[in-house]
Structure 1
Amino acid sequence: MTEKQVIYLDFKASKILLDGDFNAKLSDCGLAKLGPTNGNSHVTTSIIGTYGYVAPEYVATGDLYVKSDVYSFGVCCLNY
């Protein structure tokens, strides 16, 4: 079985919850997309998500890459 890649897309601090042992859990996966398959490098979709948290290349082209969430994670880290 191959592991499915998921692009969370709207990753921000307010959507990170902690359980009783302080393990991080992501909430509100409503905008998540399955990542590229069959050797493709990206998924093309309409621009959605919270302005300021989405990757600039996604805004410019509408192409989502598996690493698109890395930009959002960096924005979250810089806010603290």
Structure 2
Amino acid sequence: MPMHAQQIEELLRESFPEAEIRVEGDDGVHMSAMVVDESFRGKNRVQQQRAVYAALKGKMDGPAGELHALALTTRAPS
């Protein structure tokens, strides 16, 4: 079952309540997300992206995952 942008944003908001979050995509399978959060300060891109994937609670896990592809942009606020 495909995921909608709002569902993805809600999952991310649970882990990053103060973040600037933008989720885009209309096919429910190939989406993009931008997450800007203070918790990313001092972390490299891999660490930031792992935190986002963890927030998605397994929705991208393996071929049976609800979300096939998520293009991520992550950073700490300027």
The two structures share one fold, judged by TM-score above 0.5: no
When the two structures are superposed, what TM-score results if normalisation uses the length of structure 1? 0.28
**Higher percent of residues as strand:** 2
**Higher percent of residues as helix:** 2
When the two structures are superposed, what TM-score results if normalisation uses the length of structure 2? 0.28
